[in-house]
Amino acid sequence: MRYSFNGVARDNSGNVWASTIIYVYLEGTTTKANIYKAITGGSVVDRITSGTDGVFEFFVDDVDYYQSQKFKIRIEREGFMPKDYDSITVFPVLPLTIVSTQPPDSSGSNGDFLIFEA
């Protein structure tokens, strides 16, 4: 399933930045994230561009990442310093399911815990 993230590209004074390039990276890195332009179909893109109103939207697929993955968004415009926003949550925050299992070769142990993201 794909999840959307949208925003408005602005400068430090709050002025809208039209036709701005948006890059998405994995949190705290310069590793580009797999993002899509649409909720279904299409290929991975390495950037998107905001509209004339500064609005941008991209989609992240939960097949590509665990739902705990966070992202860094970089907004770039020619002639200006890039702006980074790190630790961005795209996926909804869901509770974790903890399942207790006992290893097949153990007897009377506390077992191991497996954690699954919902």
Give the domains, in start order, of the chain with CATH numbers.
2-93 (2.60.40)
pLDDT of residue 58: 97
pTM flag (> 0.85): no
pLDDT of residue 103: 53
State the residue for tokens 């991975």.
Answer: 44
Q: How far apart are the first and last CA of the chain?
A: 13
State the 10-residue block means of pLDDT for the chain, 118 residues long: 94 90 97 97 96 96 94 93 93 67 50 51
> What's the sign of the alpha-carbon dihedral 102, 106, 110, 111?
negative
pLDDT of residue 11: 85
pLDDT of residue 102: 53
pLDDT of residue 107: 47
